[in-house]
Amino acid sequence: MAAAAAGGDGEAAVMRAEVAALRLRVQELERENQRLGKIAARCTCGSSKDDSAASSPVVSESLSSSKQEPQKNVKSHCRGCQVGVVSHCPKRLIALKIMYFGQRFYGFASEAHTEPTVESEIFKALERAKLLVGSRKESCYSRCGRTDKGVSATGQVISLFLRSNIKDAKLDVLDNKSGDFLARFSCLGREYKYLFWKGDLNISEMQKAALKFIGEHDYRNFCKMDAANVSNYRRHITDFNISAYDQRSNYDELWAITIKGSAFLWHQVRCMVAVLFLIGQGLESPCIVDSLLDITKTPRKPQYKMASEIPLILRSCLFDEVNFMCSSEASQALIEHLKDEYHQYMLQAAIFCEALSCLCSPEPDPFEPRHKKRNHIPLMSRQTEPSYEERIAKVKTKSAGSV
């Protein structure tokens, strides 16, 4: 009987211990439930009230800050549920360097509502990875360059806040404690490269004209004017060089135009290259650059066709004290991928070369000119586009009429 009583007391003690543990677990779950309830209460998902005018949360974390604290006392202003957006998680201001090949994209920016764009694909990937912390405005999103349809980039840069649990204080990344880093406005310079086949172009005359672009000038005659949003058309070009690209085909030699500057206007590079090609063909003199840069003499841009977008590359964007990091595994994977792509395109080129070798070239007619000269209308004799003053007056008239 005594043994039985002792056994019963032991079982009772075990049950009391289990009940106590369950009580503690219930208390922990209640606290967690309260925490999640507070987060849910701050979100206005599904609300019909438009909170778009409300202020965005103030962000004080830096790109190099090792402190990763969740947001506190921040109201979410989302309209409807945003899949892949986790606004209450720790976040970090990140600068991303991006490489893309533009032939299959409708430009970089996604404002035109035409898919696919480079920007839309980036945000789809970030959403799938659940790295987004809010809207583009709330994430302080900024892009360094806005390339056109078909234009490629090897050094495009964007910046935005993303989810992050990095706690390594030894990481060597940008210090931005003031929170004012933006890829667009923090960029000190941009470098573009334009590839072309030399053919019969007069490179010497082209380089003579290219040097006239160096310095600060008004480039309104070398861009697509956006009078509604841009009033200052002065830009500073720091370097403009034309050089051989160390690659040939059986019939021609590849060359490159390298242009460096603090910032560029819409279509500026393609317009400058188009005028250089006219000069290289002997259709215009290098002094045409002086005439077009003189807005007193030439207040209206002559109508001319821009150079093709396909050979244009945004090669790099320059920042002060920014060191981009890439793991050795990711870097090696990208190198291998690019090598495979290069070899595939070289195989295609070899197939075209083989096809050309199977064709018999017709004998040239000694009495026929090698190149038929097309009728060229000098730029200064062509019809012109409206001046900036005429465009802005039209914008103001339209705005007054809509009111």
DSSP percent split of the chain into helix, strand, coil, nearest 5: 35, 20, 50
Instruction: Indicate the range of 23-32, 66-75, 202-211, 241-250 predicted with least confidence.
Output: 66-75
Q: For position 202, what pLDDT does the model report?
A: 97
Quick: pLDDT tens for 262-274: 999 999 999 999 9
Are 300 and 386 in contact by the 8 Å Cβ rule? The answer is yes
Among 188-192, 225-229, 251-255, which range has the highest average pLDDT? 188-192
Q: Retrieve residue 102's tokens.
A: 């533009």
Catalytic residue ranges: 148
Sign of CA dihedral 213, 143, 111, 226: negative
Alpha helix positions (H), 74-186: 118-128
Is the pLDDT at 70 greater than 50, yes or no?
A: no
Sign of CA dihedral 79, 80, 85, 88: positive
pTM here is: 0.74
Mean pLDDT to the nearest integer, 137-149: 90
Using CA atoms, how far apart are residues 229 and 234, in angstroms rounded to an integer?
Answer: 14
Q: For position 159, what pLDDT does the model report?
A: 92
Using CA atoms, how far apart are residues 317 and 381, in angstroms rounded to an integer?
Answer: 38
The upper half-sphere exposure of residue 188, i.e. CA atoms within 13 Å in the direction of its Cβ, equals 5
pLDDT band at 43, cuts 50/70/90? low
Is the pLDDT at 189 greater than 70, yes or no?
A: yes
Q: For position 246, what pLDDT does the model report?
A: 81
Mean pLDDT to the nearest integer, 189-205: 96
Rounded to the nearest 5 degrees, what angle is found at the Cα of 168, between the Cα atoms of 165 and 171?
115
User: Where is pLDDT greater, at 82 or 400?
Assistant: 400
Q: For position 290, what pLDDT does the model report?
A: 97
Using CA atoms, how far apart are residues 158 and 314, in angstroms rounded to an integer?
Answer: 13
- Give me the domains of the chain, ranges plus CATH numbers: 91-163 (3.30.70.580), 189-321 (3.30.70.660)
Quick: pLDDT tens for 102-119: 999 998 988 767 889 999
Instruction: Indicate the range of 72-76, 244-248, 332-336 predicted with least confidence.
Output: 72-76
Q: For position 316, what pLDDT does the model report?
A: 94
pLDDT band at 396, cuts 50/70/90? confident
Is the pLDDT at 297 greater than 50, yes or no?
A: yes
